[in-house]
Structure 1
Amino acid sequence: MNRTMQTDVLIIGGGPGGAATALSLLRYSGLKVMIVEQSALDNTRVGENVSPALFDLLDYVDIHKEDFGPDSFLEGYSNKAAWGSSYINTRDSLFTSQGANYQIDRERFDLHLLEQVMSRGGIVFPRTRCQSLRQLPNEHWEASFQHRDQQQFDVLARYIVDATGRQSTISRQLGIESVRFDQLVAIGAFLQTTDNRNISQDLFMEATEEGWWYTAALPKQQMAVTFFTDADRASELQLHKPANWCKMLEQTVHTRQRTSETLSHEALWTRNAFSQLNDFSCRKNFIAVGDAAAAFDPLSSMGIGFAISSAFQAARALLENYNGDAKAIDRYQQDISRIFHSYQELKLQFYHKEQRWPESAFWKRRHTFVPLRREQYA
C-alpha cells in the first residue's frame, strides 16, 4: 500500500517558477508547500539574459543577488544585433529598456532557490515522476508519484500548481487547452575558447535566412551559441547533426567571427522555444506559472523574469482563493492573457524589422502570426 502525504499546495516542477511560488507562499502564508521535480537537478540548463529588475523581484521573498555567490551573474555591457541589415546596432529587448543585463548561471540559480524552499520549511522531492492525477469530489487533488530510487507514494493537496515549463506536462495530462503560435526551436552548444582573448561581454543576435543566431559570454572563457528556427526547418536541414549546424554557422557574417578559435566537448542540445498560451480556467483549485501558463519567444528576454513574477502573482491568487475569494484565480488567468496579447503585438513589430528574405518560410511566418492548429504540433 502506498504511503500517503498531505499538503496544502502541490507544485509540480522545480524550476524558477515552481520555487518562487513556494517561496512566496512560505513567506506570506501559513500554507504547507511541496515541490515535486522529475529531474535529478543535474540537467543542462541553458543560461539566460536577465535585467536588474530580477533582483528587485527576488527582494519580495528576501533573496538577494549576493546570496547566489560569485560568478552567478555575468554582467553584459550591451545588446547588439545584425537585424534588418548586416550592420550591427545596439538594441533593447522587447520588454526591457534598462541598459544593464546579466547572463545567469542557471544551475546555481535554480539550486539556490530550491535550497531556500527547503530551509524555509518546504518539502522538495527530486527524481520523482507524476504517475497519475485526479480531482476529488471536494475539488481537492490526489496525485501518485514514483521516486526513482524509492517506492511509490500518494499526495493529497488542496491546490495543484503546474510549473512544468513549455511542455505543460500536467496541464496536458488534464486536457487543459493550449494555443501554440509557432514551432520555434533552439539548437545550441556551449563553446570553449582555445586562446586567451577576452570574450566580448555583450549579447549578440544575427538574423539569417533560416532564423537567427544568439551568442552570449559565460564564465570560464565559455560562450553559449544558439540557432533559432522552426522545427520543420530544423528537421529538413538536419541541424541536430554537428556538421550541418556548423555549416549554418559558417554562413553567418558576424557570429562565425565571434565563435572562431572555439571548440565544444558536448553534444548539441535542442530546446523548444515556441510561444503559447494556456487556459486553465476550466479547472478548480488549479493554476499554472511561468512557461506552463504562457511561453514567450526568447527575443523577449522574459523567461525567468516572467516565471518569477507570475509565480508571485499565482501565490497571491491561491492565498486569496484560500481566504474565500472564488474569483482570484480567474483574475490571475485574465492578467496572464493580457500580458501575452501585448507581447504578441510587440513581437510582430520586432520581427517586421527584418525584411531581407521575403520568400523565407521562417520570416513569412513571423510577419503574420496565426495560432497553429493542435494537429500541427501534436
Structure 2
Amino acid sequence: MDGIRYDVAVLGGGPAGTALALALRRSAGLSVALFERSTYAHAHLGETLPPDSRRLLSQLGVWEAFARQGHVRSMGSCSRWGNSSLGYNDHLRSPWGTGWHLDRARFDRMLADEAARHGVDVRTGTAVTVWKPLEGGGHRLRLPVEGDASGAFVDARFVVDATGRSAAFATSQGAQRHTVDRTFGLCGTFALQPGRTVDALALVEASVDGWWYSARMPGDRVVFGLMGDRDSLQGLTAKDPQAWRTRMERAPETRRRLEACDFTGASLRAVPGNVACLDRLHGEDWLAVGDAACTFDPLSLQGTSQALRSAQQTADAVSRSLRGDSTALRLHEVRVRHQFQEHLRIREGYYRLERRWAGAPFWRNRQQSPAPLPFSAAPNPPSLGKNA
C-alpha cells in the first residue's frame, strides 16, 4: 500500500464515510480508500432507520445485504411530549413499509464490507492521524506501522473527513466547531426477561430532567437513554445506574418498559449530544461530512438516515470538484448550512411545545436564544444534481 495514489481518501468508517465511499465508487468510478480506526467489534447504542431508508440502501447497492442481517422492524414511534397523553407516529401508511431498529455495529460492518466488495480499499484498525499537503494539491497520509517498520503512506487527490465529532482533519485545516447547545446522555442496553416483551415502537418521553428514549433492539434487548445537560443531570454518572433508574420514576412509560428487562449488573455509557456545526466545511481538496460537519439534536433521530440520504449528493459534489468545478463544494456547503439551520428552526419549535417544567434547568436552558451562528445559508439552496 506504500505510495499508492487514490482519487479520494475517506477518514472514518461510520455510515457517513462508508455510504459516501460507496457512492463515489458506484456513480463516479473513483479510486477510494477508507480508513477506520476500529474493527467494528465494539457495541454501539441502538439507532432507528425510517422506512424510506430502503430506497437509500437500494441506491447504494446494499439493500440485499442489509435485509439478510435481520434487524428488528420498527412500526414507528410514540411520544409523551407537551402533555401527559401518548401521541403516535406509525408507519402503517408508508409506501416503504416499516423502519428498522439497528444493531449499529453489525450495520456499520455491513456497509464497510459492501464498500470493499464494490472496490473501495477498506482498512480497518487503521487510525490515520498524520498528513501533509502535496505540491499541486492533495495530501499524503501517514499510516500507522508496528515496530521498526519504515513509515508507510498513501497519497490522495482529495480527503473526506468522516471522523465524527472530533473532525480531526477539518480542524487541522483551521475549521472550528460552533456549538449551539451542549447536551449529553446516559444510556444502557438491557436484555428482556424470559417471557417478557416490549412493542416495536420507539418511545420518547419528556420528564423534568430532560427526555428519555427507548427502543427494541436485535437480540431481545432494549436500549434506554436519558438526555439532559450539565444542570439537569448534575450528580448523575455512568458509574451509578441506580440513581439513573431512580430518575426514571419521573417517566412512567419508560419505567414500564424497563420493568420487562433484566437490570441486574446494569452498566451505563455517557454519550455526547451537542448540537454543533463547523464554521468551514471544505477546502480546495477536502470536505467534512456526517458528524464531522454537523451534529443534530439526538431528538431528531436523523444521524444514520441523514448520512445515507446525503451520500449521493455529496459524491456528486466531490466528483465535480475533482473534474475542475470550482463551485461544487461551495454549493454543497450552502446546502448543508441550509439543512442545519432548518433543523435548528424545527428543533426550537419542538422544545417550546413542552411547558410542564418551564422552570426546571433543562427546559429553561432550551428556551434561551442560542448565540448567532458564524455563517449564513441561502434560503433556497441550488440543486447539486448531475445536470445542474
* TM-score after normalising by structure 2: 0.88
**Secondary structure of the structure 2 residue equivalent to 1:330:** helix
Is 1:146 matched with 2:111? no
* More displaced 10-residue stretch of structure 1: 180-189 or 308-317: 308-317
CA distance in 1, matches of 2:262, 2:136: 57
**Secondary structure of the structure 1 residue equivalent to 2:127:** strand
Q: 1:115 to 1:240 in 2, by over 3 A?
A: same
Could you tell me which amino acid in structure 2 is paired with residue 46 of structure 1? L
Listed one character per residue, the Cα deviations across residues 283-319 of structure 1 (whole Å, up to 9, x for unaligned) are 2111111111211112212111111222322211111
For structure 1, list consecutive stretches of 5 or more residues without a partner in the other structure: none
Equivalent position of 1:135 in the other structure:
133
Listed one character per residue, the Cα deviations across residues 206-230 of structure 1 (whole Å, up to 9, x for unaligned) are 1111111001011232101111111
Q: 1:220 to 1:359 in 2, by over 3 A?
A: same
Equivalent position of 2:198 in the other structure:
199
Q: 1:219 to 1:293 in 2, by over 3 A?
A: same
**Secondary structure of the structure 2 residue equivalent to 1:128:** coil
8 A contact 1:51–1:98 mirrored in 2: no
Among 80, 83, 88, the alignment partner of 1:82 is 80
Listed one character per residue, the Cα deviations across residues 304-349 of structure 1 (whole Å, up to 9, x for unaligned) are 1111222322211111111121110111111000011111110011
Equivalent position of 1:179 in the other structure:
178
**Secondary structure of the structure 2 residue equivalent to 1:129:** coil
* More displaced 10-residue stretch of structure 1: 168-177 or 74-83: 168-177
Equivalent position of 1:218 in the other structure:
217
Among 119, 122, 130, the alignment partner of 2:120 is 122
For structure 2, list consecutive stretches of 5 or more residues without a partner in the other structure: 375-388
CA distance in 2, matches of 1:39, 1:345: 35
**Secondary structure of the structure 2 residue equivalent to 1:254:** helix
**Secondary structure of the structure 2 residue equivalent to 1:40:** coil
8 A contact 1:202–1:217 mirrored in 2: yes
What are the residue-to-residue correspondences of 1:1-378 with 2, within 5 Å?
3-64=2-63, 66-70=64-68, 72-91=70-89, 100-146=98-144, 151=149, 152-231=151-230, 233-264=232-263, 267-281=267-281, 283-371=283-371
CA distance in 2, matches of 1:248, 1:278: 34
8 A contact 2:101–2:218 mirrored in 1: no
Could you tell me which amino acid in structure 2 is paired with residue 116 of structure 1? E
Q: 1:71 to 1:26 in 2, by over 3 A?
A: closer
Deviation at 1:232, TM superposition (A): 5.2
CA distance in 1, matches of 2:195, 2:147: 44
CA distance in 2, matches of 1:88, 1:16: 32
Q: 1:364 to 1:149 in 2, by over 3 A?
A: farther
CA distance in 1, matches of 2:41, 2:170: 24
8 A contact 2:186–2:237 mirrored in 1: no
CA distance in 1, matches of 2:197, 2:156: 52
Could you tell me which amino acid in structure 2 is paired with residue 354 of structure 1? E
